[in-house]
Chains A and B, each alone.
Chain A
Amino acid sequence: MSATARGHGMTLAEKILARASATESVVPGQIVEGTVDLAMMHEQGAQTVQPFHEMGATRVWDPDRVVIAIDHWVPASTEGAAVLHRILRKFADEVHLPHFYDVGNHGICHQILAENGWVVPGDLAVGTDSHTNMLGAMGAVAAGIGPTEMAAVLALGRLWLKVPPTLRIEVRGTLGPGVTAKDLVLRTLGEVKTTGATYKAVEWTGPTIAKLGMPERLTICNMTTEMGAKCGMVAPDGTTMEYLARTAKHAMHPLQPDADASYERILRLDVDGMPPMVACPYSPDNVRPLPEVAREHIRVDQAFLGSCTNARIEDLREGAAILKGHKVHPRVRFIVSPASTAIYRQCLSEGLVDLYTEAGAVFTNSSCSACFGGNMGIIAPDEVCASSSNRNFPGRMGPKEGRIYLMSPAATVAAAIRGELADPREYA
């Protein structure tokens, strides 16, 4: 069901961009100069250094607002990766950037931002990774940018932005047992499609969203990137403030959308009775009900429980609950990669590393791991991977023929056990 709403108030994205540009109000299409509250770089930040110098910049506008977290190749797996890390370390020394999450204290950049309170309500945050959208779960505008643009941000502390129109997604109903926030965002992608929110802001709202914890909000904001969105967000509430109470790194501005805000489109979803979902090759919007796809007995060669979308402690517990008492199918390589070192240590203390490895999984250190096909967990051209990650484009895990199915952590574990796509509710 779809509608529009035309009022005189502002959406959450408009409120935040008005604050960032120190103007009273903004409207979609308007171009503003936004002051940046937090800038994040991972390995791609290495390509920021040369343009930063070419711009004639010598100092970073505010080193306490810059976070570097390496995550794609940890520890460095090739000479090229080692060089990228080296460039970043030298740059951080040269311009005095103290907040560097290096090997041993590492994690996926977005998770590092989330668990350390680097992005708070009302912020304008930018990062050199497309899934920076994830931090919108804090009630912020968080968007991905490229490294040349980041060089300008480091020099100036601001960037131009076109105020996006907002797609409001109102969700009601209760997620059933074995059905998760990942299934919700996949189903939404099936409706919105990969271009349905291009250049737009996505505002998640409704009683179902209000009940989601922060890890789940991070998951649904993460995949607004796959809808083409500039940013995806949940307005801050008690859950947000509690999550950030001890970690917030700077002042919070818990802005709310106006009741009479103007939305380009309102999408209303009811999740009562919704089954687990799966995105089939080769697009995150090629979404079908998982039980229907499972009936086709799709053989799985690799299962991957990891990525910024779904590798938090809650996700690994969800997978462990399914795996307990089972073994990984002998034909399946099952890779488990926690999203941060903090989560890795939590898994150790909760016995999850034992549980996964005794069942036959490989439990790796924290990194982007198999998600992006550039480091480890590459599949062969005729192979299939069941994955809790966010993209299944041609070539995403290596060869262009490789087939990736995107699903929840629970469904990923169910596939690892059965050796083919499976409904996780059969293992509950």
Chain B
Amino acid sequence: MREIIEGRVWTLGRDVDTDQIISGKYLTIIDPNVLKTKVLEIGLPEFASQSRPGDILVADANFGSGSSREHAPQALRAAGVGAIVADSFARIFYRNSINLGIPTIEAPGVRALFERFDPARIDMRAGSVTNVRTGRSISFPPLPPHLIDLLEAGGLVEKVRRELAARHPPAGTMPR
């Protein structure tokens, strides 16, 4: 996990649900590289073609509400989103996004600090999001240790892989 994350901001309103991130008609697509061309088609149509790797989403309340579809954070990760910051998240999206290793930060009040394309700087350890253009910043409670562990591992797949490997060492290795 990077401790400092910097990038250009795309702003979004409240209640951007998963239908707006990846529409129901695309749910049979599971290739993230195809999904990223459809990302935010309803919520922010110009994003898919104009975003750059490392861009940061700053949303108002209840980002990612609605369905459990992991296509939504999959598509955002494939598009190279560096972090998602919001006033608040819907719970399944939040878990999915963290599980995929995307820095996902709840910072109430953050949306009001940014306009589109403002440069943002996020300090994961200190727990702050700063608008580099205006100098205004907002703090957030640092993530709990088990979520930091998840992000440090790069996501849930790697974390479980390590756990299973520790449980069942490959043949020929001696338990320490």
Which residues on the A side are within 8 Å of B62 (C-beta)? 194-195, 198, 228
Chain B residues, CB < 8 A from A57: 160, 164
Q: Mark B38-81, 1 if CB is under 8 A from A, else 0.
A: 00001000000000000000000110011111110110000000
Tell me whether A267 is interfacial, beta carbon within 8 Å.
no
Interface centre among A43, A72, A395 (most CB of B within 10 A): A395
The reply on A349 being an interface residue by CB < 8 A is no
Give the residue name and chain of the B residue nearest to A147 (CB): B70
With known contacts A44-B70, A198-B90, A396–B24 Cβ distance under 8 A: yes
B65 and A194 form a contact (CB under 8 A): yes
Contact B91 A374 (CB under 8 A): no
How many residues of B are in contact with the other chain, CB < 8 A?
A: 42
Q: Is the CB of B157 within 8 A of A148?
A: yes
Binds A, one of B93-101, B116-124, B132-140: B93-101
Interface string of B148-162 (1 = CB under 8 A from A): 000000011100110
Q: CB-CB contacts of B87-130 with A at 8 A, as 1s and 0s?
A: 01011100110011000000000000000000000000000000
The yes or no answer to A80 lying at the interface (CB within 8 A) is yes
Interface residue A298 (Cβ < 8 Å from any Cβ of B) = no
Determine the chain A residues whose CB is within 8 A of the CB of B70 once the complex forms: 44, 47, 146-148
- B28's partner among A73, A132, A195, A400 (CB-CB below 8 A) is A73
Quick check: is B4 within 8 A (CB to CB) of the other chain? no
Complex CA gap A155/B163 in Å reads 10
Q: Is the CB of B164 within 8 A of A148?
A: no
Task: Determine whether the beta carbon of B92 is less than 8 Å from that of A146.
Answer: yes
Please give, as numbers and ranges, the residues of chain B lying within 8 Å of A31 by CB-CB distance: 144, 146
Q: Is A74 an interface residue (CB 8 A)?
A: no
B88 contact set on A, CB distance < 8 A: 195, 198
CB pair B156–A395 under 8 Å, yes or no, is no
Contacts of A230 in B (CB 8 A): 91
The one of B28, B144, B165 in contact with A56, judged by C-beta atoms closer than 8 angstroms, is B165
Q: Does B17 contact A (CB under 8 A)?
A: yes
